[in-house]
Amino acid sequence: MGWGSWVAVGDSFTEGLSDADGFGGFRGWADRLAELMAYRNPGFRYANLAIRGKMLDEIIDEQVPLAIAAQPDLVTLCAGGNDLIVPGSDVDELAGRLEQAIVDVQRAGSEVLIFAGPDPKAMPMVRRVRAKVAIYNEHLHAIADRHDAMIVDLWAMHVLADERAWSDDRLHFSPEGHRRIALRTAEVLGIPTDEDWREPWPPRERITSWFELRKADLDWTRVHLVPWVKRQLRGESMGDGVRPKRPELRPLDDVSVGD
Protein backbone atom coordinates (compact mmCIF):
# COMPACT_ATOMS: atom_id res chain seq x y z
CA MET A 1 0.00 0.00 0.00
CA GLY A 2 1.19 3.51 -0.76
CA TRP A 3 1.00 5.45 2.50
CA GLY A 4 0.29 9.11 1.78
CA SER A 5 0.11 10.33 5.38
CA TRP A 6 1.16 9.07 8.79
CA VAL A 7 0.72 10.23 12.39
CA ALA A 8 3.04 8.68 14.98
CA VAL A 9 1.69 8.52 18.53
CA GLY A 10 3.50 7.46 21.69
CA ASP A 11 6.27 8.14 24.21
CA SER A 12 10.07 8.40 24.15
CA PHE A 13 10.42 5.37 21.88
CA THR A 14 8.52 7.11 19.08
CA GLU A 15 9.92 10.55 19.87
CA GLY A 16 13.32 9.00 19.20
CA LEU A 17 15.27 9.54 22.40
CA SER A 18 19.01 8.81 22.29
CA ASP A 19 19.12 9.21 18.49
CA ALA A 20 20.25 12.83 18.11
CA ASP A 21 19.17 14.59 14.92
CA GLY A 22 22.02 17.12 14.85
CA PHE A 23 19.66 20.05 15.48
CA GLY A 24 19.22 19.73 19.23
CA GLY A 25 16.38 17.22 18.99
CA PHE A 26 15.90 13.53 18.31
CA ARG A 27 15.48 11.54 15.12
CA GLY A 28 14.54 7.97 16.02
CA TRP A 29 12.98 5.10 14.11
CA ALA A 30 9.89 7.14 13.18
CA ASP A 31 11.77 10.00 11.51
CA ARG A 32 14.03 7.51 9.78
CA LEU A 33 11.02 5.62 8.46
CA ALA A 34 9.32 8.85 7.40
CA GLU A 35 12.34 9.67 5.26
CA LEU A 36 12.07 6.29 3.53
CA MET A 37 8.36 6.81 2.92
CA ALA A 38 8.84 10.36 1.61
CA TYR A 39 11.58 9.18 -0.75
CA ARG A 40 9.08 6.87 -2.47
CA ASN A 41 6.16 9.30 -2.28
CA PRO A 42 7.04 13.00 -2.76
CA GLY A 43 3.58 14.06 -1.53
CA PHE A 44 3.91 12.11 1.72
CA ARG A 45 2.96 13.95 4.93
CA TYR A 46 4.12 13.10 8.45
CA ALA A 47 3.35 14.16 12.03
CA ASN A 48 4.95 12.93 15.23
CA LEU A 49 3.01 13.67 18.43
CA ALA A 50 5.06 11.44 20.73
CA ILE A 51 6.46 12.87 23.97
CA ARG A 52 8.91 11.21 26.33
CA GLY A 53 7.63 9.99 29.68
CA LYS A 54 3.97 9.90 28.70
CA MET A 55 1.74 7.30 30.31
CA LEU A 56 -0.88 5.32 28.42
CA ASP A 57 -3.86 7.44 29.50
CA GLU A 58 -2.02 10.66 28.64
CA ILE A 59 -1.26 9.35 25.16
CA ILE A 60 -4.86 8.25 24.65
CA ASP A 61 -6.33 11.51 25.98
CA GLU A 62 -3.86 13.98 24.46
CA GLN A 63 -2.47 12.43 21.27
CA VAL A 64 -5.02 9.97 19.91
CA PRO A 65 -7.78 12.58 19.37
CA LEU A 66 -5.33 14.72 17.40
CA ALA A 67 -4.33 11.74 15.30
CA ILE A 68 -7.98 10.94 14.58
CA ALA A 69 -8.74 14.55 13.65
CA ALA A 70 -5.84 14.58 11.16
CA GLN A 71 -7.40 11.64 9.25
CA PRO A 72 -4.11 10.10 8.09
CA ASP A 73 -3.78 6.90 6.12
CA LEU A 74 -1.73 5.39 8.94
CA VAL A 75 -1.46 5.80 12.71
CA THR A 76 1.32 4.08 14.64
CA LEU A 77 0.57 3.65 18.32
CA CYS A 78 3.07 2.55 20.94
CA ALA A 79 2.05 3.14 24.57
CA GLY A 80 2.03 1.43 27.94
CA GLY A 81 5.75 0.85 28.45
CA ASN A 82 6.05 3.53 31.12
CA ASP A 83 2.98 2.17 32.90
CA LEU A 84 4.45 -1.32 33.11
CA ILE A 85 7.37 -0.02 35.19
CA VAL A 86 5.03 1.45 37.81
CA PRO A 87 4.43 -0.97 40.71
CA GLY A 88 0.86 -2.21 40.87
CA SER A 89 -0.07 -1.41 37.29
CA ASP A 90 -2.66 -3.79 35.83
CA VAL A 91 -1.54 -5.27 32.52
CA ASP A 92 -5.04 -6.42 31.57
CA GLU A 93 -6.53 -2.97 32.17
CA LEU A 94 -3.76 -1.30 30.18
CA ALA A 95 -4.36 -3.61 27.24
CA GLY A 96 -8.10 -2.98 27.37
CA ARG A 97 -7.67 0.79 27.24
CA LEU A 98 -5.20 0.53 24.36
CA GLU A 99 -7.56 -1.76 22.46
CA GLN A 100 -10.36 0.80 22.66
CA ALA A 101 -8.01 3.49 21.33
CA ILE A 102 -7.12 1.26 18.39
CA VAL A 103 -10.81 0.68 17.65
CA ASP A 104 -11.46 4.43 17.77
CA VAL A 105 -8.64 5.16 15.32
CA GLN A 106 -9.79 2.45 12.92
CA ARG A 107 -13.39 3.66 13.02
CA ALA A 108 -12.13 7.07 11.91
CA GLY A 109 -10.67 5.46 8.79
CA SER A 110 -6.96 5.05 9.54
CA GLU A 111 -4.90 1.89 9.39
CA VAL A 112 -3.18 1.07 12.70
CA LEU A 113 0.25 -0.34 13.48
CA ILE A 114 1.31 -1.20 17.04
CA PHE A 115 4.49 -2.48 18.67
CA ALA A 116 5.10 -5.42 20.98
CA GLY A 117 7.84 -4.40 23.40
CA PRO A 118 11.42 -5.69 23.39
CA ASP A 119 12.67 -8.32 25.82
CA PRO A 120 14.03 -6.35 28.84
CA LYS A 121 16.09 -9.27 30.14
CA ALA A 122 19.40 -7.42 29.73
CA MET A 123 18.18 -4.10 31.19
CA PRO A 124 18.83 -3.89 34.95
CA MET A 125 15.96 -1.61 35.94
CA VAL A 126 13.27 -2.93 33.61
CA ARG A 127 13.97 -6.66 33.70
CA ARG A 128 12.06 -6.94 37.00
CA VAL A 129 8.87 -6.37 35.00
CA ARG A 130 9.82 -8.79 32.24
CA ALA A 131 6.81 -11.01 32.96
CA LYS A 132 4.46 -8.02 32.72
CA VAL A 133 6.00 -7.01 29.40
CA ALA A 134 5.54 -10.55 28.09
CA ILE A 135 1.87 -10.65 29.15
CA TYR A 136 1.24 -7.20 27.67
CA ASN A 137 2.82 -8.35 24.42
CA GLU A 138 0.51 -11.35 24.29
CA HIS A 139 -2.42 -9.00 24.70
CA LEU A 140 -1.10 -6.84 21.86
CA HIS A 141 -0.78 -9.80 19.50
CA ALA A 142 -4.34 -10.84 20.32
CA ILE A 143 -5.61 -7.28 19.82
CA ALA A 144 -3.85 -7.04 16.46
CA ASP A 145 -5.42 -10.33 15.43
CA ARG A 146 -8.92 -9.33 16.54
CA HIS A 147 -8.87 -5.97 14.79
CA ASP A 148 -6.65 -6.74 11.80
CA ALA A 149 -4.03 -4.25 12.96
CA MET A 150 -0.39 -4.50 11.95
CA ILE A 151 2.19 -5.26 14.62
CA VAL A 152 5.97 -4.98 14.86
CA ASP A 153 7.30 -7.57 17.30
CA LEU A 154 10.38 -6.04 18.92
CA TRP A 155 10.74 -9.03 21.26
CA ALA A 156 11.33 -11.23 18.21
CA MET A 157 14.05 -8.93 16.82
CA HIS A 158 17.09 -10.92 17.95
CA VAL A 159 19.44 -8.12 16.92
CA LEU A 160 18.07 -5.97 19.76
CA ALA A 161 19.62 -8.36 22.28
CA ASP A 162 23.01 -6.82 21.51
CA GLU A 163 23.97 -4.04 23.94
CA ARG A 164 24.91 -1.85 20.99
CA ALA A 165 21.21 -1.59 20.14
CA TRP A 166 20.75 0.37 23.37
CA SER A 167 21.91 3.75 24.58
CA ASP A 168 23.99 4.36 27.69
CA ASP A 169 20.85 4.80 29.80
CA ARG A 170 19.87 1.16 29.05
CA LEU A 171 16.28 2.28 28.52
CA HIS A 172 16.26 3.81 25.05
CA PHE A 173 17.60 2.59 21.75
CA SER A 174 20.86 3.72 20.19
CA PRO A 175 20.91 5.29 16.71
CA GLU A 176 21.71 1.87 15.26
CA GLY A 177 18.88 0.31 17.24
CA HIS A 178 16.48 2.92 15.89
CA ARG A 179 17.77 2.33 12.35
CA ARG A 180 17.08 -1.38 12.54
CA ILE A 181 13.62 -0.82 14.01
CA ALA A 182 12.81 1.58 11.17
CA LEU A 183 13.82 -1.10 8.66
CA ARG A 184 11.73 -3.74 10.43
CA THR A 185 8.71 -1.44 10.50
CA ALA A 186 9.15 -0.68 6.81
CA GLU A 187 9.13 -4.42 6.18
CA VAL A 188 5.82 -4.82 8.05
CA LEU A 189 4.34 -1.92 6.07
CA GLY A 190 5.52 -3.41 2.77
CA ILE A 191 7.96 -0.59 2.04
CA PRO A 192 11.01 -1.79 0.06
CA THR A 193 14.44 -0.93 1.48
CA ASP A 194 18.02 -1.52 0.43
CA GLU A 195 19.13 -2.60 3.92
CA ASP A 196 18.35 -5.55 6.15
CA TRP A 197 17.61 -5.17 9.87
CA ARG A 198 18.82 -8.77 10.38
CA GLU A 199 22.40 -7.93 9.40
CA PRO A 200 24.73 -9.40 12.04
CA TRP A 201 26.56 -7.03 14.33
CA PRO A 202 30.28 -6.76 13.64
CA PRO A 203 32.60 -8.48 16.12
CA ARG A 204 33.75 -6.44 19.08
CA GLU A 205 35.87 -6.86 22.15
CA ARG A 206 33.66 -7.34 25.19
CA ILE A 207 34.27 -6.04 28.69
CA THR A 208 35.23 -9.06 30.76
CA SER A 209 36.89 -7.83 33.96
CA TRP A 210 34.80 -7.56 37.12
CA PHE A 211 36.17 -4.07 37.77
CA GLU A 212 35.09 -2.73 34.38
CA LEU A 213 31.62 -4.26 34.67
CA ARG A 214 31.20 -2.90 38.20
CA LYS A 215 32.33 0.58 37.16
CA ALA A 216 29.89 0.59 34.23
CA ASP A 217 27.02 -0.34 36.58
CA LEU A 218 27.97 2.33 39.12
CA ASP A 219 28.25 4.98 36.41
CA TRP A 220 24.84 4.01 35.06
CA THR A 221 23.30 4.17 38.55
CA ARG A 222 24.70 7.66 39.19
CA VAL A 223 23.96 9.17 35.81
CA HIS A 224 20.65 7.54 34.91
CA LEU A 225 18.99 5.57 37.72
CA VAL A 226 19.26 8.09 40.56
CA PRO A 227 17.79 10.99 38.53
CA TRP A 228 14.94 8.71 37.37
CA VAL A 229 14.11 7.72 40.96
CA LYS A 230 14.16 11.36 42.08
CA ARG A 231 11.73 12.32 39.29
CA GLN A 232 9.39 9.51 40.31
CA LEU A 233 9.43 10.61 43.96
CA ARG A 234 8.65 14.19 42.94
CA GLY A 235 5.90 13.12 40.56
CA GLU A 236 7.78 14.60 37.63
CA SER A 237 8.19 13.36 34.08
CA MET A 238 10.88 13.75 31.44
CA GLY A 239 8.12 15.06 29.22
CA ASP A 240 7.06 17.96 31.43
CA GLY A 241 7.10 21.08 29.25
CA VAL A 242 8.05 19.16 26.09
CA ARG A 243 6.00 19.77 22.96
CA PRO A 244 5.57 17.39 20.00
CA LYS A 245 8.35 17.83 17.46
CA ARG A 246 5.98 17.59 14.48
CA PRO A 247 2.47 18.50 15.69
CA GLU A 248 0.85 18.74 12.26
CA LEU A 249 0.79 16.64 9.11
CA ARG A 250 3.13 18.20 6.58
CA PRO A 251 5.53 17.16 3.83
CA LEU A 252 9.20 16.59 4.57
CA ASP A 253 10.26 18.71 1.60
CA ASP A 254 12.59 21.57 2.56
CA VAL A 255 12.12 20.80 6.25
CA SER A 256 14.49 18.87 8.48
CA VAL A 257 12.70 15.83 9.82
CA GLY A 258 13.99 16.58 13.29
CA ASP A 259 13.12 20.28 13.34
Please provide the CATH number assigned to the domain covering 5-197+206-251. Answer: 3.40.50.1110
Q: Range with the lowest mean pLDDT among 63-72, 102-111, 177-186, 235-244?
A: 235-244
Residue 140 neighbours by CB under 8 Å, 6+ apart? 95, 98, 114, 115, 116, 151
Note the pLDDT of residue 191. Answer: 95
Per-residue pLDDT band for 168 (boundaries 50, 70, 90) equals confident
Is 51's pLDDT higher than 50?
A: yes
Q: Is 132 helix (H, G, I), strand (E, B) or coil?
A: helix
Number of H helices, E strands in the chain: 10, 6
Q: Range with the lowest mean pLDDT among 1-5, 49-53, 161-165?
A: 1-5
Arithmetic mean of pLDDT, 222-243 = 64
DSSP string spanning 33-95? HHHHHHHH-TT-EEEE---TT--HHHIIIIIHHHHHHH--SEEEEE--HHHHHSTT--HHHHH
Is 236's pLDDT higher than 90?
A: no
Q: What is the pTM (predicted TM-score) of this model?
A: 0.88
Arithmetic mean of pLDDT, 115-124 = 86
Parse the chain into domains and list their residue ranges. Answer: 5-197+206-251
Runs of H (alpha helix) within 108-224: 130-147, 175-189, 210-220
Strands 74-78 and 246-251: unpaired
Q: What residues does 115 pair with on adjacent strands?
A: 152
pLDDT digits (tens, 9 = 90+) for 142-158: 999 999 999 999 999 99
